[in-house]
Amino acid sequence: MLLVTNTPKDEKLHVILSEAKNPSFINEDTDSSSSFLYKKDFLRMTKRKHIFVTTASHNVSSLIKLTFNMVKYCVLRRSTLIYILIGQDDFTTGETLKRIKKGIGDEALLEANTTLLEAEGLSPERLRAECSTVPFMTEKRLVIVNGLLERFHPREKSAAATKKSTARSKEDGYKSFAEAMQNLPPSTVLVLLDTAIKDRDIRDTKKLREVNPLFREMEPGATIDVRPQLAGERLNMWIQVRVTDLGGNIAPPAVTSLARLIGGNLWIMSNEIAKLVLFAQGRRIEEKDVNLLVASARESNVFNLIDAVFDGKLDVALDILRQLLQAGESPSQLLFMLARQMQLIVRLKDMKEHGRPKMEMQSRLGLMQEFAWLRTAAQAERFTFPQLKEIYRKLLETDLAIKTGKYDGDTALSILVAELSARENPVT
């Protein structure tokens, strides 16, 4: 229930939240590009809390914003030990993780008190031990577990016999992990991070509870942040709000063009929007600006970077990387482009093995420009599938290191380039 009244005699704002068994997730991006999501989150919250507000303000919009901010502040101040961050919008998930870290305490001390665990091969005993570890020289420690929910998520197209044979082990497994995460010491903040589960499985949390036993078990005591990748009108709104937040203005055709060229990867989108706002210098961003700045002119340097890396030319590779970063490319953007190029190489090799004609391969890969086609085809000849698998693994490790704050972006990319360039047997 929400009760809002104007009381001119009382200039103080009073917000009283009744206790609820499960805390709701409230967006913290009060003045950011996620603001268009507020209404949904606010309504979700009011179903679980009783909120009484009195204020001297007669401005309805200001009253609603002030009410929301105060309610959000009170909810977020409640002690939360377990967070579940789930969804393929890893940009917003990464921002949420940053806020969690900032809210824990001193960032320098937290770095030494942060443990990142991969779900693959993780045992309940190891998780319990890490969560029980006493922090060093600070009040809190942070434990991040990547991919644990996905480990107990149903696989697509799995045979009935396989489901039956694994049902008991999954049942036992999720219960053991849930028990390991119960009764956490107040000094431990636990984050379950998962960006691998498909968006279609997380849009309906009721369905997610039904199919994922670990989520169902952990949800009551956790703060939940579900972030499916933005698309369509929601992505267009995100772009418009992001531009406005940076002090710019953008024409609707330019918004449409940006969404078409970049899609839902908000890491790249945020970087490109920042460049467009700077380029426009106060005037409205038009579609021609998007076509000029966001086109694929940077692909040439990315091709050169990949060639240098897999020729084992470390100095050359690091020099190209430095040039790309100085030109304004973000580490996350470069990592995405490297991963995209590896994906094109894998698909091209697979289609070649199946004897697909050149025109079909170019069309399906979107490589109609002869330059891009020739460079990708040449690189595909230099890799074996086991080598590509190893490269993908290192790309994933680097991506995770950036998003969890283990390394800053520049350092993580430099380590990646150095590791791939320094292999004993460069690709030939």
CATH architecture of 82-226: 3-Layer(aba) Sandwich (3.40)
Helix, strand, coil content of the chain in percent (nearest 5): 60, 10, 30
* Mean per-residue pLDDT, 279-303: 78
pLDDT exceeding 70 applies to what percent of the chain?
72
CATH 3.40.50.300 placement within the chain: 82-226
The structure's pTM equals: 0.54
Q: What is the DSSP letter of 154?
A: P
Residue 376: what pLDDT? 83
Do 391 and 420 form a contact (C-beta atoms < 8 A)? yes
φ, ψ of residue 72 in degrees (nearest 5): -60, -45
How many whole angstroms separate alpha carbon 133 and alpha carbon 175? Answer: 21
Strand partners, 17: 51
CATH 1.10.8.60 placement within the chain: 232-294
Residue 295: what pLDDT? 58
Do 97 and 403 form a contact (C-beta atoms < 8 A)? yes
The highest-level CATH class for domain 298-421 is: mainly alpha
* Confidence category of residue 299, pLDDT binned at 50, 70, 90: low
> 165-213 pLDDT, tens per residue?
344 445 558 999 999 998 899 999 999 999 888 878 888 888 898 899 9
* Mean per-residue pLDDT, 34-47: 38
CATH 1.20.272.10 placement within the chain: 298-421
The CATH number of 232-294 is: 1.10.8.60
Q: Which two tokens stand for residue 369?
A: 């420009």
User: Picking from 105-114, 141-150, 155-164, 411-420, which range would have the lowest pLDDT averaged per residue?
Assistant: 155-164
Judged against a pLDDT cut of 60, whether residue 122 lies above it is answered with yes
